[in-house]
């Protein structure tokens, strides 16, 4: 009588290409998520500093926007790199979440859930919500598809009047609230992201790890305050 044998355990094969093999590993994906996340943070901070020029007046903001437009191919190259970083960050994060879920025993699901934070459990969802906002934000202010009338705004020097475009956009309370909510989700996402970076990079020193986590948390909410201050001051009539 033949004995029943268990099916062989599937063996995970790695590519001969060292870059692909690196990405196929769990630590490789984590490093890709961390590095792409850091790149996006640098962009977010730089974009915020540019946006805050609205407090310096119409001429400063329009001059800054005009300078960016004059970069031409360089600006589009930066946008493409930024888009690739976003795609890689999202794909690697989703793959990691799927791998973690498949590897986690069901009987420990409850205790793991209790040990994790709300920010960590909603990382994928807050990230996707931010992406939805970014798409609309680009359609509104960059491509001007939702508001084609913005294309006709020009200042006394013939430059595109970004200053008045932003004011007109955020004078609408629903748009301002949507913007503030998206930035809140972004800050939540970043806050947990900094903590994850210390784990991914293997920083075992408690002081350094705590410094990065706390510093990242403060930076996340400073970013939130900086971005949200613009629609708030516009709605209050402080920027005209």
Tokens, residue 235? 């709605």
| Percent of the chain predicted with pLDDT > 70 | 80
**What does the pLDDT look like over 84-139, one tens digit per residue?**
998 888 888 888 878 877 776 555 444 444 445 555 566 677 777 888 888 898 89
Instruction: Give the integer Cα–Cα distance in Å for 153 and 233.
Output: 21
Higher pLDDT, 101 or 231: 231
**What does the pLDDT look like over 151-194, one tens digit per residue?**
999 999 999 999 999 999 999 999 999 999 999 988 988 887 77
Degrees to nearest 5, angle at CA 90 with 89 and 96: 90
Neighbours of 220 (CB within 10 A): 22
pLDDT of residue 204: 61
Tokens, residue 123? 């990382």
Tokens, residue 165? 């475009």
pTM for the full predicted model: 0.79
Q: What is the longest distance spanned by two Cα atoms in the chain?
A: 94
Give the domain ranges of the chain.
28-103+119-235
**CATH class in words for 28-103+119-235:** mainly alpha
Mean confidence (pLDDT) of the chain = 82
**Which residue is associated with the tokens 């999202």?**
90
């Amino acid at each position: 009588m033949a004995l029943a044998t268990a099916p062989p355990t599937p063996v995970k094969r790695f590519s001969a290409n060292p870059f692909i093999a690196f990405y196929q590993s769990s630590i490789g994906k984590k490093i890709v998520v961390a590095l792409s996340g850091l790149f996006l943070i640098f962009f977010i901070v730089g974009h915020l500093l540019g946006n805050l020029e609205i407090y310096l007046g119409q001429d400063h903001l329009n001059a800054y926007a005009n300078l960016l437009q004059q970069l031409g191919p360089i600006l589009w190259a930066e946008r493409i790199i930024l888009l690739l970083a976003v795609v890689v960050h999202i794909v690697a994060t989703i793959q990691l979440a799927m791998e973690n879920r498949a590897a986690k025993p069901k009987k420990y699901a409850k205790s793991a859930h209790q040990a994790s934070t709300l920010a960590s459990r909603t990382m994928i969802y807050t990230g996707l919500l931010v992406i939805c906002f970014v798409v609309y934000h680009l359609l509104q202010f960059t491509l001007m598809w939702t508001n084609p009338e913005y294309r006709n705004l020009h200042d006394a020097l013939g430059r595109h009047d970004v200053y008045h475009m932003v004011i007109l956009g955020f004078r609408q309370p629903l748009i301002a609230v949507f913007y503030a909510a998206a930035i809140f989700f972004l800050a939540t996402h970043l806050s947990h992201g900094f903590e994850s970076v210390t784990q991914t990079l293997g920083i075992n020193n408690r002081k350094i790890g705590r410094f990065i986590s706390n510093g990242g948390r403060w930076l996340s909410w400073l970013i939130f305050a900086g971005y949200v201050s613009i629609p708030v001051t516009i709605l209050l009539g402080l920027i005209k």
